[in-house]
Amino acid sequence: MKGNILGDIRAEHDVNMLENSFWQTTEYKSLLESYDRCIIVGRRGTGKSALVHMLSKHWENRQKTQVLVITPVEEQIIGLRDVLKLFGDNYLHIKAGSKLAWRYAIYMEVITEMVNHYKLKNFLDIHSIQSHIVDWGSRRNNITRKIRRKLISILESDDKNKSPESRIADLSDAFELDLLEEVILEAAEKGKFQFVLFADKLDEGYTPDNLGVAIVDGFVQSVIDIKHILKEKVIAFAFIRDNIYRAISKNDPDFTRNIEGQTLRIHWDEYNLFNLVCNRLRVAFNSNVENNTRVWNAHTADELKSLKGFRFALKLTLYRPRDILVLLNDAFLRAGSQNRTNIIFEDIDATAKTISNNRLNDLHKEYETVFPALERFTKCFSNEPQEVTLNIACDLINKALDNNDVSDKLLKQDLILSDNPAQVIQRLYSVGFIGLYNDTSSSYVFCHDGKDPDRDFNPDSKLLIHPCYLLALNNQNIGLNINNAEDIHDEYDIEVSSIDKEFRKQKIGTLISDLNKIAEGHEEQLDFYSWVLKSIKVLLAAELVNIEITQKNNFSTISATNIGNKDIWNEILNEYKCSEVFINIYNKQGLSRNDYLSISDKIFNKDIKLAFIINRDKDNNISKDTELKWVREIYNKKGILIIKLSSKFLERQLSKSRNPQKHDDINKEMKKLIKTYTNTWVNIKKK
């Protein structure tokens, strides 16, 4: 059996598995729908690089869109530290210099792409920025190397006695950022192009000190600024680890004002992880089974069968894709060594100790900067019961607060500042090491986002060490039991993840309410066309690209490119030759024969065999005496199938899309609807 049957845990090392099994999470949909949140934060193994790959692939399918993926190089970042030391020791000075440098670097990467683009180079004022282009170098060199070299050429010629403040001011002049912005905007507007940048692996060469944090902080600030300065002709997304994000929030006094509201947090729950795993099982074992539980049961045995078995496996993880994939890959490898294709409880149990050690080490590394005493405090719980009261936990913490044996300055400071054991417990809760019992839900609640908790801890509070750490703590009495898996409920802080829960819900809720304010008829038809366009962009953000609208006298037409990345849209692409999708929109109830003929005439010479009409009807049903006859007439004469969608159908789908578990419901409904047309209403006989 293949070593990693469910694929490599690093997205960039197993592109084929990633693309064929990718599960579209709420975060993925949110990033397609809006540029509002351009800083994406996630812990190790939460799929940041997978998101970068799939988002860049999606945008590459858009017309007049150029995609750039920026990944710093470790050794050059280390070298960059030496250069940025010239800005002094003040965090804000280093951040300001770093922001200028990264902004210049991103501009020059965009300009380099323009220079090498057959069309855009004709709109680029090369003459005015010739010196910058020559100095910057070719595309094959990494961005970090080029900006380091540029900084050296500017700063090393300076007077050594020049103040950091003067260096920063002079750097801005040397970069000529205003000129570069003017040139980029002019070329992008004339060429009607948009550039989308993704910055990944910003932890390469990262050192958890003021200088290291300021370098990443500067990059983050430049990404936020660029979207506004370049009027969304250039947009950028930065993907950073949670520990670095927390370090920035701790060091940057402007964090709340400039960064916090631009952030999207990556969260995983049982539903999304189950879908991810089942998608990978389908690809790995070439399965066509649609039901997730049946897919899981087909490759598991005994106690691991059913969702309860999956919950048990998930209990040993931190609700991250990497964790569950490592666990299941190892389990399948063990099963293969015993000539089995199904995994059993013993396969999971055998790999649990290694997984537990890895998870605890990851936790220590991830928060070593903002929580230096974390490892010391987690060791307090070695060989202790899995469940403890707050009072017992405080007694254990008190033993660790004695710092007489500590020589490390940061660790000693953290211990001195942590003089209140209850406060330490709250910090351990905030990083997901312990959970708090919730009487209302009769379950343990864990936080995995590193945010300071707002939950109340009292002396009688019951705490639980997260099961994924128990074996690493040498607790032999953890009672790994599938029946207990359901006692754990992982809660993600709604305030932090507002983009995919509250913020997204609010935006969709506003869109839904807008429909009821639009009257039918000619007078408000433009408002209705705009509403349908927004709704289609939200509901089919991952399926259709290059969505445009053309207005006529009594209707409008939406045209879009179908990238065929879902079963139904792949069927529409291949069986109905719809690489381009056309939708006519009417702000009225009831359609005429001419309305149906109009859309069929439009696509007849394009060899497209399917199109849509959207109007203000209450449902998607077509009238037997009129519409059904017209649909059959057009199909029999031209071989074209016309599908009617009602505005109420779109409204219902928008409402469902507010629930992360139902954001893909529209594709299921579209599949059913087309099946109804072909099997019942038109009775198309497939060859």
- Tens-digit pLDDT profile for residues 284-334: 999 999 899 999 999 999 889 989 899 888 887 878 899 899 999 999 999
The pLDDT score that the predictor gives to residue 581 is: 95
50/134 Cα distance (integer angstroms) = 34
410/405 Cα distance (integer angstroms) = 14
Contact 539, 654 (CB under 8 A): yes
User: Across the beta sheet with 610-615, what order do the strands follow?
Assistant: 544-551, 556-562, 580-585, 610-615, 641-646
Q: How many CB atoms lie within 10 A of CB 611?
A: 26
Percent of the chain topping pLDDT 90: 54
Percent of the chain topping pLDDT 70: 91
Q: How many CB atoms lie within 10 A of CB 416?
A: 12
Per-domain residue ranges of the chain: 54-264, 268-366, 369-497, 503-682
User: Vertex 447, ends 44 and 502: CA angle to 5°?
Assistant: 95
676/554 Cα distance (integer angstroms) = 29
Q: Higher-confidence residue: 460 or 517?
A: 517
Task: Give the predicted TM-score (pTM) of the model.
Answer: 0.77
Contact 386, 477 (CB under 8 A): yes
381/367 Cα distance (integer angstroms) = 18
532/587 Cα distance (integer angstroms) = 10
Amino acid at 136: W
Considering only CA atoms, give the Rg of the chain. 28
Mean pLDDT along residues 253-262: 91
Q: Higher-confidence residue: 661 or 547?
A: 547
Mean pLDDT of the chain: 87
Mean pLDDT along residues 378-386: 89
> 72 pLDDT exceeds 80?
yes
3-state helix, strand, coil in the chain (%, to 5): 55, 10, 35
> 473 pLDDT exceeds 80?
yes
CA distances from 116 to 123, 269, 294, 420, 496 (A): 12, 43, 51, 60, 41
Q: How many CA atoms lie within 13 A of 271 on its CB side?
A: 10
Alpha helices (H) along 321-452: 321-337, 345-366, 374-379, 390-401, 409-417, 421-430
Q: Higher-confidence residue: 73 or 407?
A: 73
Q: β-strand 234-241 against 39-42: which pairing, if any?
A: parallel
Query: pLDDT tens digits, residue range 517-576?
Result: 999 999 999 999 999 998 998 888 878 888 899 998 899 999 999 988 878 999 999 999
